[in-house]
Amino acid sequence: MRNLLRLILRYHSFLLFLFFEIISLILIVSYNNYQRVKFLNSSVNTVGSIYELNNSFNDYFHLKRINDELAAQNTFLRNMLQDRVTERFENRQVKDTLSGKIFTYISAQVVNNSVNKQYNYLTINKGYIHGIKPDMGIINSEGVVGVINHVSKNYSTGISILNKRLFISAKIKNSGTYGSLVWDGISYRNALLREIPIHIPITLGDTIVTSGYSAIFPEGIMVGTIQSFDIRNGENYYTIDVDLSTNFKTVSYVEVVQNVKQIEIRQLEKKNEND
């Protein structure tokens, strides 16, 4: 209390001036229409600016929640689209290898990711309690990311495309010719597409997508574009360098692809191995 009194006595002249200024302002605004309107407009602008600044801060601190909501919405829309496609196939009674594959999607966030090793992996914040299982595909809005290999209760790890052990069935979109995509272990931006015969016409910039010939990925998921290609002496296949569509340096949110008929397909195909 004593310190407060000392402060008031020390600045009493300024405080008295400030008091009279406030009284004067109130009187001017109260008895003059023009000044009242100006004051109200200024107040609205000031309060609006404060609210806008406050919303900007709130938006910044709620980015994670917003991203989660967008990821969930994207997954919902993808699942709804898949249902429509499946329904269309069934209504038309189309009988082919794709009509029997039903894919659903589970959104997840990447909590760890490597790009600088020869065998790179990523970790996501969803596990078996969320429906994640080994051999499920991982994609994002840019394209293919990898394949789930290990699962715990709340987390899962996946083999990234940037892993020399992972081979993905991919095809040239224009011709439908498929081959095997594998990382060359050099750049996180590129991979190699193999087993494309040299009699197949290809051009720079051709789009590479998943072939649909596996029980992991649906057909047509973006993989990348042809950056360069070469024919080595004595070989019957191209050496194709693919510019990957996914930027693995910025992977944050992904979707795990579930083929609900994967087990049935695998069991059936395994019988061929025993023949």
H/E stretch holding 273: helix 262-273
Q: What is the pLDDT of residue 62?
A: 58
Q: What is the pLDDT of residue 91?
A: 43
Task: Count Cβ neighbours within 10 Å for each residue of 9-36 and write b for 16 or more, e otherwise.
Answer: eeeeeeeeeeeeeeeeeeeebeeeeeee
All structural domains of the chain with their residue ranges: 2-61, 63-273
Q: What is the pLDDT of residues 30-88, one digit of tens each?
A: 666 655 545 544 553 453 455 445 556 555 555 666 666 566 656 656 665 655 544 44
DSSP string, 97-153: TTTT--EEEEEEEEEEE--SSSEEEEEES--GGGT--TT-EEE-SSSEEEEEEEE-S
Q: Among 60-64, 134-138, 162-166, which is the least confidently predicted range? A: 60-64
Higher pLDDT, 134 or 267: 134
CB under 8 A, 24+ apart: contacts of 14-17: none
Residues in the chain: 275
Assigned token pair, 168: 């993905």
Nearest to 191, CA basis, from 136, 143, 259, 156: 143
Higher pLDDT, 185 or 68: 185
What is the pTM assigned to this prediction? 0.67
Q: Is the pLDDT of residue 259 over 60?
A: yes
CATH superfamily placement of domain 63-273: Rod shape-determining protein MreC, domain 1 (2.40.10.340)
Q: What is the pLDDT of residue 61?
A: 57
Q: What is the pLDDT of residue 81?
A: 62
Cα gap 65→123, rounded to integer Å: 20
Secondary structure letter of residue 187 according to DSSP: -
